[in-house]
Amino acid sequence: MNRREVIRKVAMGGTTLVVLPAMLASCEKEPDGPGGGGNDLTIDLGLPANAALNNTGGFIVTNNIIVINTGSGNYTALSAVCTHAGCTVSYSAAANNLPCACHGSLFAIGGAVINGPATSPLAVYPVSKSGSILTITR
Ligand code: FES
């Protein structure tokens, strides 16, 4: 095996190592075709990766969407991409708002800007629940 072959095999192996965990970590499916809308995101609340959503104030970020359990069986989904410069927002259950750690923007649970530098709200997506499945319509 010459140097070129070694580099090629390492590069291919590296690709596999990068892609495989991403595939394994995916706990959501994106149905398409009739009824699925082709762009809906479904989240199985029974999967360990989504366990945070079974508690009030719990949240996950997936597919650039932050999904929050707001209590009493209700869920909210917003874009997790800060409208200032694209960092990922978080959720503060204590304050019931979404801070962005990059430059301090703060968003209300409804997506509105509370504090800049962001000037545009976060997009809000409808969420429906059927059994243990959340469906977020994007
Ligand atoms: S990217 Fe969020 S405040 Fe700048």
Decide: 79 in ligand 1 pocket, CB within 6 A: no
Quick: pLDDT tens for 100-122: 999 999 999 999 999 999 999 99
Decide: 118 in ligand 1 pocket, CB within 6 A: yes
Give the model's confidence band at 19: pLDDT under 50 very low, under 70 low, under 90 confident, else very high. Answer: very low
CB 123 within 8 Å of CB 82 = no
Quick: pLDDT tens for 31-66: 433 344 558 999 999 999 999 999 999 999 999 999
- Looking up tokens 């995101």, which residue turns up? 41
Q: What mean pLDDT is predicted for residues 69-79? A: 95
Name all domains of the chain by residue range, CATH numbers in brackets: 28-136 (2.102.10.10)
Q: What is the pLDDT of residue 17?
A: 39
Closest CA to 56 of 40, 27, 76: 76
The answer on pLDDT for 85 being more than 70 is: yes
Peptide bond into 34 cis (omega under 30): no
> Which atom of ligand 1 is nearest the CA belonging to 104?
3
φ/ψ of residue 8, rounded to 5: -65, -45
Q: What is the pLDDT of residue 38?
A: 58
φ/ψ of residue 134, rounded to 5: -95, 140
